[in-house]
Amino acid sequence: MQQLQFINLINEKTFRDRGSLLNMKRTYLVVLYVSLLAGLEFPDFDLHLLVFLGHRSILTHGIVVPFFLYKFLTKEGYSKISNKIFGRFFSNKDFSREILDYAYIGFLIGIAIHLCADLFPKAWMGFALIVFPPWIPMGAPFSIVWMLLNMFFALKISFQKIKKKEIENKTKNRIFLSILAIGAIYLIIDTMFVSKIILMIISFPIIWFYANKGFKVIKKKD
């Protein structure tokens, strides 16, 4: 009888743990998608600070700000700041770190999709060009290279992090497909969407596939 009660207690704890883990994973995904939407809008935040930054600011049309902010919040000695921020909502420090990770992943992906859209302006002049604050345009070649590189590294960093997460491969693939779907919807509502979607469906899967392979060049043996 005591053995049966003990087994029942273990089963109940197992179900509670599984339910808690499932809720955590759902929370992570919600954070990822909300952050993705925020990342889509972040590059155009410079429109609210036009006098100081100019439009297509190098600070917002790239990963500079989120990259160094994430490094700061996860650096040893400073991580207590992020724990204090997220600790108001989540008592578990590991859970707080995961929340920060998924927020970072989603934000970078959102920026990458936005940059994919910005790579096809009507003409490479005026507001189409990357600018140094406040109003120093960098020209078309620099603007194209800057946005391509930042799109690439935003996707590489975020895809690497997704693939390292302890979630099922099926879930990871679904996340990737949902990213493509969100990207397609975002690009379709813009002008010249065909070219933008072609760039996305070519570049995103390549970066996703090679995210953990280091893009090493395979040399043939003599």
> pLDDT tens for residues 14-30?
334 344 445 667 888 99
Within a domain: residue 191?
Answer: yes
- Supply the pLDDT for residue 82: 55
pLDDT band at 216 (very low <50, low <70, confident <90, very high): low
Return the percentage of the chain with pLDDT > 70, whole number: 74
Provide mean pLDDT across the span 110-115: 96
Q: Is 203 domain-assigned?
A: yes
pTM above 0.85, yes or no: no
pLDDT tops 70 at residue 62: yes
pLDDT of 77 > 60? The answer is no
User: Do the domain assignments include residue 219?
Assistant: no
Give, in order, the Cα–Cα distances in Å from 19 to each of 14, 16, 115, 145, 153.
Answer: 9, 5, 38, 46, 35
pLDDT of 217: 44
89 versus 132: the higher-pLDDT residue is 132
pLDDT at 109: 97
Confirm whether 199 is domain-assigned: yes
Does residue 174 sit within a domain?
Answer: yes
Task: Note the Cα 163 to chain centre separation in Å.
Answer: 13
Instruction: Classify residue 220: in a domain, yes or no.
Output: no
- Over residues 30-51, the pLDDT tens digits come to 999 999 999 999 998 887 877 6
Domain of 90, in residue numbers = 40-210
Q: Is 9 within the bounds of a domain?
A: no
Closest CA to 190 of 30, 31, 44, 36: 44
Read off the tokens for 43: 């590059």
pLDDT at 220 over 60: no
What would the two tokens of residue 165 be?
């997460």
Of the pLDDT bands very low, low, confident and very high (cuts 50, 70, 90), residue 179 is very high
What is the predicted pLDDT for the residue at 84?
58
What is the distance between the alpha carbons of residues 147 and 166, in angstroms, rounded to a whole number?
31
Task: Give, in degrees to the nearest 5, the angle at Cα 43 between 40 and 48.
Answer: 115
Return the pLDDT at 43. Answer: 92
Number of domains in the chain: 1
1 domain residue, yes or no: no
pLDDT at position 111 is 96
